């Protein structure tokens, strides 16, 4: 496993981050624990979750499952960089959501209880809340930092302008500011290159990529595909991109690598990317991506991928002239 600094911090995180959204609702407790163990053994030290994850089991279920795994061996907590999120609705209560200072404080304390830990390494805003001023949010985050409940603050699904705004406000008050952005990025979805990635690079914010395989479209055709991946392979997106996906899989066969492996390696070769989230449902799905960490693609392969999946270009030139 290879490691990179999380944004401009000195913290080292693995190039592959273990995403836990499937744990509980889609993946059994036993298999979830096995995947977590495999990840540790492979050198993954970065684990991402969210307070809302739980699906049919209800919000908070995934954090509770992760807390049970951590409780089995206290040494596990020291070995991982633990990240979770706040913003999404946790109940029907109008104030049990969003990024008000009140909800941030209450949500963090609830996450700590479910996880069974005394602090969260990376506390991420799951989505922008246009009703909450940055001053209110930073007030809540400062309080949590001073209480020792969180260490770093990150964003998720933020536009470039919000990353800039939050970090300018933070710098004005002498704060560290946002250190990471968890965003949507893949060969099939490159719009982050217009504004989000340039903002991250300008402010020293590490990009953590979610949905690197475009919901399974870049994982390649498989007879044993199920769930979300099967839906992706048979859905409108697969039909819309059929020609490119066939050419991509042909390139993978030529190179002798699995499609998901190459799609992940491509992301880790992009400027500004710190870590790529793997969200396995089964143990074998994690192992198939591990080799992408540390793999550097040569210019000819990168050029062929750009030809198959063209870049958006630089803003504003890409759309202004």
Summarised one tens digit per residue, pLDDT across range 41-91 is 999 999 999 999 999 999 999 999 999 999 999 999 999 999 999 999 999
C-alpha span between 88 and 125 (Å, rounded): 9
- Only one residue has tokens 């217009």, namely 194
C-alpha span between 209 and 293 (Å, rounded): 14
**Domain of 124?**
3-320
Q: Give the pTM.
A: 0.93
In tens, the pLDDT along 114-147 reads: 999 999 999 999 999 999 999 999 999 999 999 9
Number of domains in the chain: 1
H-only helix segments in the chain = 29-41, 61-72, 75-79, 101-115, 134-146, 160-172, 196-203, 227-234, 236-240, 242-255, 259-268, 283-287, 299-308, 317-320
pLDDT attached to residue 288: 79
Residue 3 annotated in active site: no
C-alpha span between 105 and 299 (Å, rounded): 47
In tens, the pLDDT along 258-308 reads: 999 999 999 999 999 999 999 999 999 998 788 787 788 999 999 999 999
In tens, the pLDDT along 250-268 reads: 999 999 999 999 999 999 9
Coil, strand or helix: which one is 289? coil
pLDDT attached to residue 234: 57
CATH number at residue 295: 3.20.20.100
Which one of the listed residues 53, 152, 185, 203 is annotated catalytic?
Answer: 53
Over 70: is that where the pLDDT of 224 sits? Answer: no
Give kind and range of the element (H or E) at residue 220: none
- Rounded to the nearest integer, the mean pLDDT of the chain is 94
């Amino acid at each position: 496993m290879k490691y990179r600094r999380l944004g401009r911090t000195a913290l080292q995180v693995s190039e592959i981050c273990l995403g836990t959204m499937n744990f509980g609702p889609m993946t059994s407790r036993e298999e979830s624990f096995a995947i977590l163990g495999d990840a540790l053994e492979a050198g993954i030290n970065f684990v991402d979750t969210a307070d809302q994850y739980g699906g049919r089991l209800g919000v908070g279920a995934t954090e509770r499952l992760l807390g049970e795994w951590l409780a089995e061996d206290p040494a596990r907590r020291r070995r991982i960089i633990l990240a979770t999120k706040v913003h999404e609705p946790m109940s029907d209560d109008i104030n049990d959501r969003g990024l008000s200072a009140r909800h941030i404080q209450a949500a963090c304390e609830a996450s700590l209880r479910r996880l069974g830990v005394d602090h969260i390494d990376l506390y991420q805003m799951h989505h922008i809340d246009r009703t909450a001023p940055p001053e209110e949010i930073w007030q809540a985050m400062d309080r949590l930092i001073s209480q020792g409940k969180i260490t770093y603050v990150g964003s998720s699904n933020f536009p470039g302008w919000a990353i800039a705004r939050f970090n300018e406000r933070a710098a004005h008050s002498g704060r560290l500011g946002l250190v990471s952005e968890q965003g949507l990025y893949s060969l099939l979805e490159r719009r982050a290159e217009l504004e989000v990635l340039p903002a991250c690079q300008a402010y020293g914010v590490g990009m953590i990529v979610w949905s690197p395989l475009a919901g399974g479209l870049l994982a390649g055709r498989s007879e044993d595909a199920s769930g979300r991946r099967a839906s992706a392979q048979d859905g409108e997106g697969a039909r819309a991109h059929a020609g490119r996906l066939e050419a991509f899989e042909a390139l993978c066969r030529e190179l002798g690598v699995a499609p998901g492996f190459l799609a992940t390696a491509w992301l880790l070769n992009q400027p500004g990317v710190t870590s790529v989230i793997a969200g396995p449902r089964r143990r074998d799905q994690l192992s198939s991506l591990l080799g992408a960490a540390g793999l550097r693609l040569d210019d000819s392969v990168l050029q062929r991928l750009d030809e198959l999946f063209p870049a958006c270009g630089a803003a504003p030139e890409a759309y202004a002239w």
